[in-house]
Structure 1
Amino acid sequence: MTIAASPAASGYQSVFAAQLFAGQVVIVTGGGSGIGRCVAHELAHLGAQVVLVGRNSDKLQAVQQEISADGGQASWQACDIRSEAGVTELVQELLARHGRIDALVNNAGGQFMAPLESISAKGWEAVVNTNLTGGFLLARECFKQSMAQQGGSIVNIVADMWGSMPGMGHSGAARAGMVSFTETAAVEWARAGVRVNAVAPGYIASSGMDNYPPEAAGLLRAIPRTVPAGRMGTEAEVSAAVLFLLSPAAAFISGSVLRVDGARPQGRAGWGMQLPDAAARQRPAVQPFAGFHRAQLPRVFQD
């Protein structure tokens, strides 16, 4: 199994042009950890004023301090995105503070491992409200209060739910709903100069894996053998996809889903998995991109 470590560098090693997002105000939900933390760092490195949103104030403040120490601009605001009133008030406060919202990265989410028959209505609703309804509410308010007048870009983080998500059916249903929402919003909001896309991470070596129970460790360590690329992805590889969709280079892309998954959904029963050998893994086209200088390997892979 190969999981890339972050390079020994003094700052984020982005592939994008310096100051690409200078002057832009970008909201990143779930910015206190994992993929959201990485996206926030890269945006700030490229000149954006990043607003970190989540429920855990301590985590948000810690990431804001990291970004400031690296020379970037960031602020944070605690909010439960499942609350319609709370989201409406959040966007109002951010507009009063910054005057505009140029982009939104709907990254907040969460789920737990369970077969369908054991999921209660409360558990189902908690996951759907976080992974679907909360993203819709935030996107709607950003559009109504700001983007309808000035345009903007939205990227929704979904998941590899093609072909189902056994063991996390609540999350699969919510993510599929977010893909449909992405496609619909792209059509309805194009009139205002707003683009809406999604990024679907596959198996990413992110801190979110630290939230799974200890008995899942063996399953997590075996994952790379199910991926044609022969490894897990990095947070920086997901962030690069997000920033591409936010960038001017994606001006004619809307309503699309960009998968970052090493061809994982194309694996088929009856086809012997042919994983890259050591020589193939060293070829430039498939080398892991590890641009996030503060990346942290999940504990399950540190043994």
Structure 2
Amino acid sequence: MTIDLPLVARGKVREVYDAGQDRLLLLASDRISAYDHVLPTPIPDKGAVLTQLSVWWFEQLADVLAAHGATHHLISAVDVPAEAVGRGMLVRRLGMAPVECVARGYLSGSGTVEYRRSGAIVDVELPAGLEEGSRLPEPVFTPSTKAEVGEHDEAISYARTVELVGPERAEQLRELTLALYRRGHEIAAGAGIVLADTKFEFGVDADGLVLADEVLTPDSSRFWPAATWAPGAVQPSYDKQFVRDWLTSSGWDRQSPPPELPADVVAATRDRYVAAYEALTGTTFG
């Protein structure tokens, strides 16, 4: 796909173009990444799912943002170049906060590894007796660095967050991240989905914080079917954990170039992304 605009940046999944007048075009591709690598096999319709689901979530979260004196960056998903319709968003150009804002309501993934080692996730102490998939007593804020393509995000302490953005901004980021997670968890629960954890990115303008990038998608979140949630094991998911699991079982060493995904893994991954979209929004994709 060719967009006749200046390319600003290319990430693992998205291209960012200069749309003029302090605006950017965010274009989501069908690329999929895992373990800090972009895989060679695309997932059909993935970019469209990520974009359209983000647009839907921006609408659902607008009142939470307003209650915290914040906004979101979306200008339009319609007024975009014809080549970008369905997978492009026209957004405000922002200065971005230098941290990934992660909210966890359940123990999973790297959080489980850290908890088993130390009883905490970085500086967030957790009660004894939790296991993979356990719901936490309350959602927690566990920020991380924002790594370049090919590098790994690293969890950081709240104190380090304060060093990076200052005490007032750090508190704002924590409060807003948890408020958005709680609303997302509530909406997802109504659709029969557990929102286990997610990450947000925020920009800053003259008025304060602005929710940016993608929001509550299968790329940025862990979504589990509520009907099968059972602590004590890795949960079935609507997100790209399915691809991670296949890569692990394939024997890939995570260092060499990643393998092509088999057709059945591609189809099953697409089905999971579409299922999440349809369950959350209550509409048919496509």
TM-score scaled by structure 1?
0.26
Question: Which protein is richer in strand relative to its size?
Answer: 2
Question: Which protein is richer in helix relative to its size?
Answer: 1
